[in-house]
Amino acid sequence: MKAYVFPGQGAQFSGMGKDLYDNSDLAKELFHKANEILGFDIMKIMFEGTDEELKQTKVTQPAIFLHSTILAACLGDAFQPNMVAGHSLGEFSALVANKTLSFEDGLKLVYQRAMAMQKACEAQPSTMAAVLNLEDEVIEKICGEIDGIVVPANYNCPGQLVISGAIPAVEEACKRLLEAGAKRALILPVGGAFHSPLMEPAREELAAAIEATQFSTPICPVYQNINAAAVSDPAVIKENLVLQLTGAVKWTQIMQNMLADGCTEVIEVGPGKVLQGLFKKVSRDLPTSSAGLQ
């Protein structure tokens, strides 16, 4: 069984999508449509922009979404997923690829998500930190004991968990996690506390947009971030997508559940190879690859 997986923020690079544009009429059409929907030339930034330009919130999330969804569309009949999943932002790409969302609606939601998250980040100084080589349960317990908001945010793979919250609480958690035996507890260069209660204003804003958007029955189940379970019911997919902004990304559990449900091959659709590397941490012998043109 083939699992197609879609990366999240951080996988962007200058020149992303240029090969697709140069070699596919469908890609050209979709990129131009994206420019119209967004109201600025995202193509130019993706193809020629600096790293700094690509790091702008209003650019990063739509850029990764566009790279992934257009690549999936260009695969045509070769795109035959038995299951899909996306890491954080990548869940929106997965939902377009498995026909839950239209390309246009997916892009609009991603752009609204990016702008809402930016606003929430500006409202309160906050951050995230990567914790290595410590059991999830220990991290959860220590976060729960800290005075202030700090929560597990990304369960990336066994031995790698990202925490998120208010800056003093994250700093205190890092100190205690190192004392508890973590190999590293490293503050990340991010603009805010994604997947934490501090994203509540963004969740409320995005919830209204998601509610107003048409969700269809997908061609295959999506394993969603919030519960790591295979979902095909559009109403449930909607609910879970709303919860995603303030809830943890359960990627470790998604990988484990996909494998338990019969996944025999993983294909990463979009920039980078991060998700393939995470799958290898769970199952070293699992065949993984990148999809098509980059």
Mean pLDDT of 198-202: 95
pLDDT digits (tens, 9 = 90+) for 250-259: 999 999 999 9
| 293: confidence class by pLDDT, cuts 50, 70, 90 | low
Mean pLDDT of 221-237: 98
Mean pLDDT of 193-221: 96
pLDDT digits (tens, 9 = 90+) for 148-177: 999 999 999 999 999 999 999 999 999 999
What are the structure tokens assigned to 41, written together? 């030339």
| 203: confidence class by pLDDT, cuts 50, 70, 90 | very high
Residue 32 designated active-site: no
Whole-model pTM?
Answer: 0.96
Of the residues 88, 93, 126, 196, only one is catalytic, namely 88
Count other C-beta atoms under 10 Å from residue 150's C-beta: 31
pLDDT of residue 10: 83
Residue 283 designated active-site: no
Structural domains of the chain in order of their starting residue, each with its CATH number:
2-122+197-290 (3.40.366.10), 126-187 (3.30.70.250)
Reply yes or no on whether the pLDDT at 224 is more than 60: yes
- Angle in degrees, 0-180, between the axes of helices 274-282 and 251-260, rounded to the nearest 10: 60
Residues in CB range of 150: below 8 A, 6 or more apart? 143, 163, 164, 165, 166, 169, 170, 172, 173, 196
pLDDT digits (tens, 9 = 90+) for 113-137: 999 999 998 888 899 999 999 999 9
pLDDT digits (tens, 9 = 90+) for 8-51: 988 889 999 999 999 999 999 999 999 999 999 999 999 999 98
What's the whole-number average pLDDT of the chain? 95
pLDDT of residue 171: 97
| 52: confidence class by pLDDT, cuts 50, 70, 90 | confident
CA angle 193, 196, 197 (to 5 degrees): 115
Cα–Cα distance measured from residue 146 to residue 149, given in angstroms and rounded to the nearest whole number: 8
- At residue 131, the 3 state secondary structure works out as strand
